[in-house]
Structure 1
Amino acid sequence: MTHPWFLGEEVPRVLAHRGFVPLDSENVVENSVAALAAARAAGTVYLESDCHVTADGDVVLFHDDDLRRVTGDPRPIATVRTRELADIMSTRGGLATLPDVLHAFPDARFNLDVKADAAAAAVGTLTARESHRVLLTSFSDARRDIALAASRARGGEPATSAGTRTLARVLAAVTARLPRLAARHLSGVDALQIPERHRGIRVLSRRLIDVAHSAGVEVHVWTVNDPERMRRLWETGVDGVVTDRADIGVAARAARL
């Protein structure tokens, strides 16, 4: 059965990577409330983001585990109180806490990457009631499993994509031309979210796409900002792209359709 996260929306999908920061915007950073709003305004329903926790245990949307790259502050997010972080982000597009953005964007569908062990259970708990429009993922299969378990304990059933360990097993089975084994590794997975290449090694292949589709699993490729590359990937059967340029992705999809 197809998860509601995938239903009623156009394929190929355009996932806004950490929201969208328009080129002419001022004082807006990735993963801020303003960046998420800009992604929705650009025409995509899918908001991709990352989850950490503050010193108060609140789940916030940040990619890095510290503030250095985004704000110039070297402190780890886990050591900063939520109120102070909100003050820091007030001039950068607004702090995105997970409960607030779930409420603020009721028609959006969230692709949430659990970046910290301490965030896993909280993310699952907070998204349980909204799990019909949430896909939970993590490079760590263990974190992903904790988040999924926490959601299910409260009646949620989010979509999910494979962690690194699961993906490695799928790739090994595909390479060995063992589609049934690959399908077993894909059990319980709704999507593969992968780079086209990793450290010079090709990850995406036509065979992988075919095996995934046979198992009812979508393939999404990150991070793709060039419209020609988007079109090429879609022509090979890729179901969606994760992009920093939601505006370009939406326009490329519209031209294709």
Structure 2
Amino acid sequence: MTILYGHRGARGEAPENTLPSFNRALEAGVTRVELDLHLSSDRQLMVIHDPTLKRTTRIRGKVSQHTAEELNQIDARYALPNWPSACAIPTLQMLFEACPEIEHYQLEVKSGSAGQSRIVLQAIADLVSHFGLEKRVVITSSSRTLLRYARDSRYGLSTGLVEEYGILDPIRSAQRYGCDFLVLNWKLCTAQRVRQAQQAGLHVSVWTVNEPDLMRRLVEMDVDSIITDVPALAVRTLTSS
């Protein structure tokens, strides 16, 4: 059975990567979510997609230039028009505390350098251990540097390769870095690739899937999970199929 993940919570229905967005996914019955992480200046894990603030907050500057407390005071509702109330940029700790009903997290890390990878992965491991969520998270990234560091350091949490372009064989790449998940752009999905990935022991998760016909095609391919901006629509679509 194909599982649903809410993309940045419920990106198409509430301001992405904010607590209202994750709550919207839960209200739709989707208890698994994908989200993005960047470090604040005081090395707190912030739930935000871009390294800069402009798109979601209308404020210039980088996430890394602000403390977590400062970022918590910034309104991040502006990527979704006409949302009626302010939405803070949350820390990952705030999300873990606010939404214990979430059953599984795909935590996408944008970091590239080896030094940054070490800091981010350690911060995630510490927080996940504190909340006892070791079996409920996978750390995903398109950064081969980060995945290589995780492999070579024998990182204790599951990892996944995020693949958008497929220039190199994504299945072999995921295996090379010891990943458990292969997170594919839907355009890279074929029934053969899905089957081969699953035979290699990989969970195949596909993004970003918002059209009902595409959802049904991917279910027919037997993908393990679909990442969607519109959890409510996805639930209706898959329960009526």
Q: TM-score range by the shorter chain?
A: 0.7 to 0.9
2:154 counterpart of 1:159: no
Q: Which among 87, 91, 105 is matched to residue 110 of structure 1?
A: 105
SS at match of 1:56: coil
Residues 161 and 174, structure 2, Cα contact 8 Å, conserved in 1: no
Name the aligned partner's letter for residue 2 of structure 2.
P
Q: Which among 52, 59, 81 is matched to residue 38 of structure 2?
A: 52
Shift of 1:159: 2.6
Find the counterpart in structure 2 of residue 196 from structure 1: 186
Deviations 1:35-75 (A, max 9, x none): 11111111111110000011121111000001100011121
Q: In structure 1, how many angstroms separate the alpha carbons of the residues matched to 2:99 and 2:2?
A: 22
SS at match of 1:88: coil
Q: Which among 180, 190, 197 is matched to residue 212 of structure 1?
A: 197
Shift of 1:147: 5.5
Deviations 1:71-100 (A, max 9, x none): 111210000122221111385323321112
Find the counterpart in structure 2 of residue 14 from structure 1: 4
SS at match of 2:133: helix
Shift of 1:144: 3.5
Find the counterpart in structure 2 of residue 122 from structure 1: 123
Q: Which runs of 5+ in 1 are unaligned?
A: 1-10, 175-181, 198-202
SS at match of 1:161: strand
Name the aligned partner's letter for residue 146 of structure 2.
R
CA-based RMSD of the aligned residues comes to 2.7
Name the aligned partner's letter for residue 124 of structure 1.
A
Shift of 1:106: 2.0
2:239 counterpart of 1:240: no
2:70 counterpart of 1:80: no
SS at match of 1:209: helix
Q: In structure 2, how many angstroms separate the alpha carbons of the residues matched to 1:125 and 1:32?
A: 22
Residues 192 and 249 of structure 1, relative CA distance in 2, 3 Å threshold:
same
Q: In structure 2, how many angstroms separate the alpha carbons of the residues matched to 1:239 and 1:39?
A: 19
Q: Which runs of 5+ in 2 are unaligned?
A: 77-84
TM-score normalized with structure 2 length: 0.81
Identical columns (%): 26
Residues 163 and 185, structure 2, Cα contact 8 Å, conserved in 1: no
Find the counterpart in structure 2 of residue 226 from structure 1: 211
